[in-house]
Structure 1
Amino acid sequence: MTSSDDPLVSTEWLAAHLGDARLRVLDASFKLPGARPAAYDDYLAAHIPGAVFFDVDAIADHATDLPHMYPDAAQFARDVAALGVSSGDTVVAYDSGSWMAAPRAWWMFLAFGHTNIKVLDGGLKKWRAEGGATESGAVTPTPGRFSATFDPAFVRSRRQIEDNLASRAEQVIDARSRERFEGRVAEPRPGLRAGHIPGSRNVPYGDLIDAATATMKSPADLRGAFEAAGVALDRPLVTSCGSGVSAGVLTLALYRLGVRGSALYDGSWAEWGLPDGPPLATGPT
């Protein structure tokens, strides 16, 4: 249904295809701990017609205390099928327009072998600004048939990032705000240390988004943001953030620039920043 290699689709494209039989729309909105109303309550109040809620916290590994870590392939397939998604479907993920966390859902689908996945550029904010229809209440889909095979190359573990401290084979890019990256403010999750992974670079994900329209900036602007942070786009890359969600924005932006083979540090600062975690650095890089 979509042939472009661009991971984004426009609101105009979605409006034209919303009734297609093999299209599935997912509201993957997410908010930081303690934020109210909760993302699911926002979904119940207003969502794109037919959209089901992709809960980042639910479609996750519940055997760990770390937030929304990747589940195994069997759970992902089961949870996604329950949302009405089948392996032959085109999936469009969107969020409120905050970019939390449609790119995370996009990267998860790719990691589990489903390549026909797109992100709605501008999310619900742009959709509503253009007069797009919304509906309220929960959607109960007919279960789909989905098969998943996990490719571990899409993610990195704490051990792999620790090993990288010495080798520096991969560049680590942190999507958090500069204040959090430099350790000048407390983390939103209680009990975490402040700072960043030694040697990592900082590209706050908000710098890649046009605040007025909630759309991703042009490829030229994206390239400039990475290069200004000292990121070499022709070298291996790993993205990180507070808990593996907004890192997906960097991953998607890199993908738009033609970067393939990057990875996402799933545990991110929620794991690295634990009191007994690995070494950290503070201040700018």
Structure 2
Amino acid sequence: MGTQALISAKWLANMVKRNLVGPSLRILDTSWYLPEMKRDGKKEFAQTHIPGASYFDIDVCSDRTSRFDHTLPSEEQFSDYVGNLGISNNSHVVVYDASDFGAFSCTRVWWMFRLYGHPGVSILNGGFRNWVKEGHPATDHYTKPEPVKFSAKMNRDWVKSFEDMTENITTQQFQVVDVRPYARYLGKEPEPREGVESGHIPGSKCMPFYDFLDEDGMMLSPEALKRFFQKAQVDLTMPLSGTCGSGVTACHMVLAAHICGAPGATVYDGSWYEWFTKAPKEHIATGISSKLCTPPRWYRLRQPRNSIMAAQVRTLVSAQWLLDAIKNNRIGPKLRILDASWYLAKTKRDPRAEFAQAHIPGASYFDIDECCKKNAELDHMLPTSEHFSEYVGNLGIGNETHVVVYDTHDFGAFSAPRVWWMFRLFGHKTVSVLDGGMKHWLHNNNPVTAEYSKPEPQEFKAVLNETWVKTYEDIMENIKTKQVQVVDARPAGRYRGTEPEPRNDVLPGHYPGSINIPFYSLLDDSGKVLPSEDIAKLFKEAGVDIQKPLWTTCGSGVTACVIILGAHLLGHPEPCLYDGSWTEWFKRAPPEYIISEGQGKK
């Protein structure tokens, strides 16, 4: 029995409405999360799921004797498990998960059914996220299906072992595609499992799993998928094998290849977890391979992995994503929205007063002039870890909270990236920027409100990464050593010294050797961040090498974070900020270190 790999929410809703869920059609919620995510797939299923669905647990339907997570079960185990879910060899199975991506673990279960000889399986395109978005019903009611007989026959050719992968390093009989985020593939950011370091299998290519999906959580079109494979230098006419952390999201690549007409892609079931545990040091590759000498321009690190929970969080979230979260009453301890608006004094705009008049529903106000170093001579210098912990905790934010920040500036992003960076600086990686800010939110006619309820305070523990913060002394030393690129995010006129600074006691200009990329050049007319290809081009044309250390500066350490955001989206692991920026530099530096086409410093 053959079926479509993807089915729509509309199709499934029609089946549910017609009471056709039963022995011939079974729906499975396959939601699975890393333990540190503090999300319980089975518990969430008990609270809400698609009517008629059962829960499929990949940790239960596995080889429980294996030291590695959710290793494939025997044919007998699989037959018994799915038979008890009311699934026979004649059932059409539809799988989905509740991940924010739209698909995370469901592709693993889709592949498992096919692996065990059951091609009658489909994925709900867009997952539970899209199901809810389209207004289809959900329920907490569950009736256990009547058990039936299922007979599994495993296609062992579709599974690669540690020995197969080791041999392939020499023979190159098949292409290996690693779907983990690019920074983990490079070995620049940590793995989610203790004792496992990041890196990749020699000769493998990187295609992050979430780039097989669009911003709405839907699978890319066959044409877009083929372009993705082509840009990653993966030949769909040659054998393929997918790998990831533990064999789950590798199945995104298998699904994508299947949609593109290459249905025989395999999976390395042990994946990186097993590989790192067993492989000799010379087979733990890091950095850029000779076959991939620079990060691919197409690559979009929308979801960097500096921490465990960040595995489910994108750097940029869309207005539609946030609107869906609000409509589904998800704003609370697990998801907080912050209006991080801030304006220069000369604009005569009061962001706190504007917040009181209109803000995104559920948002709180984050004041960078309050959450800062007290009694400092310079504006909004970074606070201590203790101050940051107390401030954000009083906004209802804990260490497990996903934070979304935005601002109301006409550019679409001005001060929000500063607060995004602050959270990351203080060790909280589950933070996103609302792409396009309030500007794009209003353009889409999304709701605003003047109502505000102060959140219940939460405990937050901040850990400052001091290496990301640069000082006056660091900049002065770098002018002499020329070891690091410094990008100035101010407008070109202020950088050159031909247009005034917004602060009366500071003249325009720049320090020797710095590169000017005005922050707003990374934004389009709608206020959204440019595609990564365009950011990469912008950086290259300005003379910035994304592979080398990068520091940023601006007037007072705010819009420099737009540059940091852009570099982060290109996979740079640690762009740094000169917190005092030009205001401090002008006040402290000798005249010969003030480069200006204007008056300069006397």
Q: CA contact under 8 A between 1:28 and 1:100: conserved in structure 2?
A: no
- Code of the aligned partner of 1:249: V
Determine if contact 1:25/1:51 at 8 Å carries over to the other structure: yes
| Aligned counterpart in structure 2 of residue 244 of structure 1, from 551, 557, 563 | 557
* Structure 2 residue aligned with 1:161: 475
Choose which of 66, 74, 77 in structure 1 pairs with 2:386.
Answer: 74
What do you get for the CA RMSD once the two structures are aligned? 1.6
Tell me the residue number matched to 2:336: 24
Say if 1:173 and 1:203, in contact at 8 Å, map to a contact too.
yes
Distance 1:245 1:207 in 2: 15
Identical columns (%): 37
Structure with the bigger RCO (C-alpha within 8 Å, sep 6+) is: 1
Aligned mates of 1:146, 1:48 — CA distance in 2 = 23
Letter of the aligned partner of 2:519 in structure 1? Y
Task: Give 1:226's match in structure 2, choosing from 539, 546, 568.
Answer: 539
Alignment partner of 1:126 is 2:434: no
Aligned residues between the structures: 282
Q: Alignment partner for residue 10 of structure 1, among 307, 315, 318?
A: 318
Q: Distance in 1 between matches of 2:568 and 2:460?
A: 25
Paired amino acid for 1:255: H
Runs of 5+ consecutive residues of structure 2 not aligned to the other structure? 1-98, 102-302, 305-313
Match of 1:151 among 454, 465, 478: 465
Pairing of 1:178-217 with structure 2 (within 5 A): 178-211=492-525, 213-217=526-530
What are the ranges of 5 or more consecutive residues in structure 1 without an aligned counterpart? none
Counterpart of 2:316 in structure 1: which amino acid? Answer: L
Distance 2:401 2:407 in 1: 19
Quote the offset at 1:36 in angstroms. 2.1
Letter in 1 for 2:347: A
Which residue is equivalent to 1:254?
Answer: 567
Distance 2:581 2:490 in 1: 10
In the TM superposition, structure 1's runs of 4+ consecutive aligned residues that sit over 6 Å from their partners are none
Cα distance in 2 for partners of 1:31, 1:82 equals 23
CA distance in 2, matches of 1:138, 1:33: 26
Structure label with greater radius of gyration: 2
Name the SS for the 2:424 alignment partner: helix
Contact map agreement 2:343 2:349 (CA 8 A) in 1: no
Letter in 1 for 2:582: W
| 8 A Cα contact 2:361 2:451, kept in partner | no
Map residues 28-47 of structure 1 onto 2, 5 A cutoff.
Answer: 28-47=340-359
Per-residue Cα deviation, 1:34-65 (whole angstroms, up to 9, x for no partner): 22231112211210001000101110001311
2:585 aligned partner, one-letter code: W
Deviation at 1:208, TM superposition (A): 0.9
Q: 2:140 is matched with which residue? A: none
Residues 10-57 of structure 1, C-alpha deviations (whole Å, 9 max, x = no match): 111111122214100000011112222311122112100010001011
8 Å contact from structure 1 (residues 84, 144) kept in 2: yes
The aligned amino acid for 2:466 is P
Aligned-partner Cα distance in 2 for 1:273–1:8: 34
